[in-house]
Amino acid sequence: MKIVRRRTIASTQDELRRLAAAGAPDGTVVWADVQTGGRGRLGRRWRSPKGGLYASWLLRPRFAPARLAELSLACGEALAAALRGFGAATTVKPPNDVLALGADGKARKLCGILCEASGTGTTLDWVIVGFGVNVNNPPPLKRATSLREVAGRRVAVPSVLRACLARLSRARRAGDFL
C-alpha cells in the first residue's frame, strides 16, 4: 500500500483522482492534515481543519458498478468498527456517516465517507473511498464530535489511519470487493 502524505491539500479525493488517471496502483492512499476544499456527498463542503484525519483510498476493482452502494455501506461499518477501538460508541447512519455518542449523550457525526467511481457500462476503472474523521479537532463542533471528546484524551492520527485502513482492507476481502 502506497501512502502519499500532504500537510495541506485542496482535496484528497481530487488528488487521488489525478493519481488514478496517471496509473496509480490499487491501494494507493492520499492522506492530509488539512483540506482547503474538502467535500462530502452532494457536493457539500466538509470542514477539514488541523486535528482531523482526511484520507482517500484507491481501489481498482473487478466487481460490478451495481455493488457500489453495498461497498459504501461496508466501508461505513468498517470505519465504525475501527473507531470503536479508540473508545467511541459508534453506529452507521446510511448512506455515508459514522456517528458516535458525544459527551452529552447525543449521537453526533464522527466520520463522513464519500465513494466516487469511474468506469463505463459494466466495468469500473477505479473507486475512491474518501473519509474524514474528527480525531483531535478543537471544540466546539456543533453537530459533530471527535475521538478526543469521546475518548477523553488526544489520539494519534497515524494510529487512526492504520486502524481505518486495516478494517477497510478486511471488509474489502470479506465482501469480495476485489
Please tell me the pTM assigned to this model.
0.92
Q: Residue 133 belongs to a domain with what CATH number?
A: 3.30.930.10
Q: What is the mean pLDDT of the chain?
A: 90
Least confident of 31-45, 64-78, 87-101, 153-167: 31-45
Please report which confidence band the pLDDT of residue 123 belongs to, taking 50, 70 and 90 as the band edges: confident
pLDDT at 7 over 70: yes
In the sheet where 3-9 sits, what is the strand order? Answer: 3-9, 29-35, 53-59, 123-133, 107-120, 97-101, 90-93
pLDDT at 42 over 60: no
What is the mean predicted confidence (pLDDT) over 8-14? 94
What is the mean predicted confidence (pLDDT) over 152-170? 97
- Supply 120's cell numbers: 463505463
Q: Are 111 and 144 in contact, with CB atoms under 8 Å apart?
A: no
Q: Are 52 and 137 in contact, with CB atoms under 8 Å apart?
A: yes
**Which pLDDT does position 43 carry in this prediction?**
65
Least confident of 33-37, 39-43, 149-153: 39-43
Could you give the number of structural domains in the chain? 1
Range of the domain at 138: 3-174
* pLDDT tens-place string over residues 105-117: 889 999 999 999 9
Residues sharing a CB contact under 8 Å with residue 21, sequence separation 6 or more, in sequence order = none
Q: Are 162 and 56 in contact, with CB atoms under 8 Å apart?
A: no
Using a pLDDT cut of 70, give the percent of the chain over it.
Answer: 92
DSSP-derived secondary structure for 10-77 = S-HHHHHHHHHHTTPPTT-EEEEEEESS-B-GGG-B----TTSEEEEEEE---S-GGGHHHHHHHHHH
